Each structure stands twice: as structure tokens, then as C-alpha cells.
Amino acid sequence: FEEVLLPVWHELMHQTGFGQRSQWLFYDAFLRARVLQRLQLARLSGEQKILLAAFPEQCRELELLVAGLLLGGDSGAVQVVAVGQPLEELPLLCQAIQPHVLVLFAPAPPNASGLQQLRKLALAVDCPVALAGLGADLVEEQLKGSPIASLGGKTQLMQQRLRQFINGNLDT
């Protein structure tokens, strides 16, 4: 996904010629359906509940779904929250779902007020909170000493750090 399908998806998304938007929409719908199907199959066999939400206004649905698929790997079930979910309401979802960990996906670095919201969220939920994606890499220094773990932006690193975080072996 990261090396082949998403780069083509990004390239098609930015083309403006006649018919190219329709081509991108078709490709986007096809990929979202396939990724969602794989996430649902993984959720049936997964033991750990990982709740994944997008940092507000930072990514499209396909990017979040692919992040969920890559984060879950073979070991855990990832439940992806709809894009547009307000951060303030995530404690309600966490209370109902009771995940092992809440992961926020940020393809771009959160601004200062976004980081403040993230810190408030970490105090309001009953599960550990982590930030994943390129944005996590870019604000890693600002997260040091906070209860929020940075999982990074590269797939293998995210999976490894997530496993460590769930097992209590990742220092935040």
C-alpha cells in the first residue's frame, strides 16, 4: 500500500484534466472497499482492541484505513473511527468500546492547540494514548515527558512501538 497504491492514489488526486477526477474517485472507492474488507477480516481474528482515529482535518478516509491495516498487522484488531470524529467525544467512544489503546493518526504535525487538545484527551480516557504518522515524528520532542507515546511514521516502526506500548515497554 505505502509504496505502490498510495503514491498512485496521491498522484491521481492532484490531477485536474477532464475525466481524471472521476478516475480518482473510482480508484479511491475501490481501495477503500478493499482495505475496509481486510480490516473487518482482521478484526474477527484479532485479540487486542486498538481504536484508531484521525487527528482532526488532517487526512482522508483511505489514509486512515490504510494506517489501521498497517498498524494492526497480524497481531491485533484495529477499529477505525470515522474521519471527522471530534477529539472531545473520543472519551465517550473509549468508555463504550474499552480499547487497549487509543491511537491518533496525524499525517501532518499538530499545531500547539492540537497538542494541548491531545494532552487533555490523554487525561480524559481510561486507556493509553499514542500518536502515529508523519506528524508523530515531527512532534516527538514535544511529546517527551507527556503520557502520549509517539509511534512514528514508518510502518514497521509503528507496529513495533505499538506492541511495546501495549506491553508497557515503550517509554513515553
| Reduced 3-state DSSP string for 118-137 | HHHHHHHCCCCEEEECHHHH
Helix count and strand count (H, E) for the chain: 8, 5
Does the pLDDT of residue 122 top 90, yes or no?
A: yes
Rounded-to-integer distance, Cα 48 and Cα 60, Å: 25
Rounded-to-integer distance, Cα 41 and Cα 38, Å: 5
Rounded-to-integer distance, Cα 74 and Cα 163, Å: 11
Q: What is the chain's mean pLDDT, rounded?
A: 85
Q: How many residues does the chain have?
A: 172
Three-state DSSP class for residue 15: coil
Q: What is the rounded average pLDDT of the residues 118-143?
A: 92
51-90 pLDDT per residue, tens: 999 988 878 888 898 888 888 876 667 889 989 899 999 9
Rounded-to-integer distance, Cα 21 and Cα 13, Å: 7
Q: What is the rounded average pLDDT of the residues 145-163?
A: 88
Task: Name, in order, each residue with C-beta under 8 angstroms of 94's C-beta and a sequence gap of 6 or more.
Answer: 51, 102, 125, 126, 127
Give the DSSP H/E element, type plus range, for residue 106. Answer: none
Does the pLDDT of residue 45 top 70, yes or no?
A: no
Does the pLDDT of residue 44 top 70, yes or no?
A: no
**Most confident region among 1-15, 25-39, 83-97 by mean pLDDT:** 83-97
